[in-house]
Chains A and B, each alone.
Chain A
Amino acid sequence: MTTTQTTRIRVNGKPRDVSRGLTVRGLLEELELHPGMVVVELNREILERDGYDDVPVNEGDTIELVHFVGGG
């Protein structure tokens, strides 16, 4: 894959090249994550699940993907 076909974003603190033109739903699919199992924060804004199809992933975006883990 050449750089023209990818978009450089930052996911969970690390740079990552993903396919160009993805929506948030597409990004989750590319990362093999179930949309119901994660919460997405895009540039410090929490996204509603029903908006994943409408929100594009842009060059330079900072994305946090979080879920629940064991804790006290």
Chain B
Amino acid sequence: MAESVKDKVIAIIAEQAVLEPSDVKDDASLEDLGIDSLGLVEAIFAIEETFDISVPFNANEPEKSEFDVSSISAIVSAVEKLIAEQSGS
């Protein structure tokens, strides 16, 4: 069975945080995982490359971005939404 979107996102976050994927919990924030702003933009780049999507995110005002990065589950949901919106376009 192919990896789910969630598995892939967690793998990207885990690599950035230098953790095992099993240590990346759904409710964790990026801050909890020790991912700084530079780490976040690199993770977003990896997400864009992996899913061939464009992520609307401005590091100047992350809280106003459409892309919710408040927790791992929020990121996974946002990625799933973007895939649905951008597929077949």
* A and B are interacting partners: no
Which residues in B have some Cβ–Cβ distance to A below 8 Å?
none
